[in-house]
Amino acid sequence: FLGSARFPEFKDPDTRTKCAEILRSYDIDALVVIGGDGSYIGAKLLAEEHGFPCVGLPGTIDNDVAGTDYTIGYQTALQTAVDAIDRLRDTCSSHHRISIVEIMGRHCGDLTISAAIAGGCEYIVASKAEFDRETLIQQIERSLAKKSHAIVAITELITDVRQLAKDIEGRLLRETRATVLGHIQRGGSPCAFDRILASRMGVYAVDLLLRGKTSDCVGIQNDRLVHHDMNDAIKNMSRGVKSDWIELSKRLF
Q: Is 99 found in the same domain as 173? A: yes
Catalytic residue (one of 37, 62, 110, 194): 62
pLDDT at 169: 97
Q: Is 138 found in the same domain as 81? A: yes
Parent domain of 173: 75-187
Per-residue pLDDT of the chain (253 residues; tens, 9 = 90+): 777 777 889 999 999 999 999 999 999 999 999 999 889 999 999 999 999 999 999 999 999 999 999 999 999 999 999 999 999 999 999 999 999 999 999 888 999 999 999 999 999 999 888 899 999 999 999 989 888 999 999 999 999 999 999 999 999 999 999 999 999 999 999 999 999 999 999 999 999 999 999 899 999 999 999 999 998 888 876 566 666 777 787 777 6
Residue 165 and residue 101 in contact, taking contact as beta carbons nearer than 8 Å:
no
Residue 154 and residue 165 in contact, taking contact as beta carbons nearer than 8 Å:
no
Question: Residue 229 domain-assigned?
Answer: yes
Burial class (CB in 10 A: 0-12, 13-18, 19+), 246: middle
Question: Residue 16 domain-assigned?
Answer: yes
Distance of CA 244 to the CA centre of its chain: 18
CATH number of 176's domain: 3.40.50.460
Residue 225 and residue 218 in contact, taking contact as beta carbons nearer than 8 Å:
yes
Q: How far apart are CA 179 and CA 103, in angstroms?
A: 9
Q: How far apart are CA 105 and CA 187, in angstroms?
A: 14
pLDDT at 90: 94
In the residue annotation, 167 being an active-site residue is answered as no
Q: Which DSSP category does 188 fall into?
A: S
State the greatest distance between any 2 C-alpha atoms of the chain, in Å, as a whole number: 69
Q: Is 182 found in the same domain as 79? A: yes
Residues 6 or more apart whose Cβ sits within 8 Å of residue 165: 98, 100, 176, 177, 178
Give the amino acid at 46: L
Strands of the chain, DSSP E = 31-35, 54-58, 98-103, 123-125, 150-155, 176-180, 215-221, 224-229
Question: Residue 249 domain-assigned?
Answer: no
CB-hemisphere CA count at 13 Å for 5?
Answer: 0
pLDDT at 117: 94
CATH number of 52's domain: 3.40.50.450
Q: Which DSSP category does 183 fall into?
A: G
| φ, ψ at 150 (rounded to 5°) | -155, 145
Number of domains in the chain: 2
Question: Residue 102 domain-assigned?
Answer: yes
